[in-house]
Amino acid sequence: MRAWRGARLAVAALVLVAALAQAQDAPAPSTFNHEQSWLGFEVRTRFGQRIAGEFPRFDGVVEHLPDGRHRVRLQVATSEAVIPERPRYTAWMRGASFFDTVRHPWMEFVSEPYTSDLLRDGGALRGELTLRGVTRPQSLEIAPSACARPGRECPIQVSGSIQRSDYGMREWQVALADKVWLLASLQLQERAE
Does residue 8 sit within a domain?
A: no
> In the predicted model, what is the mean pLDDT of residues 149-172?
90
**pLDDT tens-digit series, residues 123-157:** 999 999 999 999 999 999 999 999 999 999 999 99
> In the predicted model, what is the mean pLDDT of residues 104-108?
97
pLDDT at 45: 79
Does residue 14 sit within a domain?
A: no
Distance separating alpha carbons of residues 122 and 109, to the nearest angstrom: 18
Residue-wise DSSP of 171-193: TTTTTEEEEEEEEEEE-BPPPP-
- What are the start-end ranges of the H helices in 50-165? 87-94, 116-121
Does residue 5 sit within a domain?
A: no
State the DSSP code for 112.
Answer: P
Residue 41, strand partner residues: 53, 182
Number of domains making up the chain: 1
**pLDDT tens-digit series, residues 9-27:** 444 433 333 333 344 455 7
Flag whether pLDDT at 116 surpasses 70.
yes
pLDDT at 191: 60
* pTM for this prediction: 0.81
Does residue 145 sit within a domain?
A: yes
**pLDDT tens-digit series, residues 52-104:** 999 999 999 999 999 999 999 999 999 999 999 999 989 988 998 889 999 99
CATH assignment of the domain containing 172:
2.40.128.110
Domain range enclosing 180: 29-186
Does residue 13 sit within a domain?
A: no
Does residue 126 sit within a domain?
A: yes
Does residue 11 sit within a domain?
A: no
pLDDT at 174: 54
Does residue 10 sit within a domain?
A: no
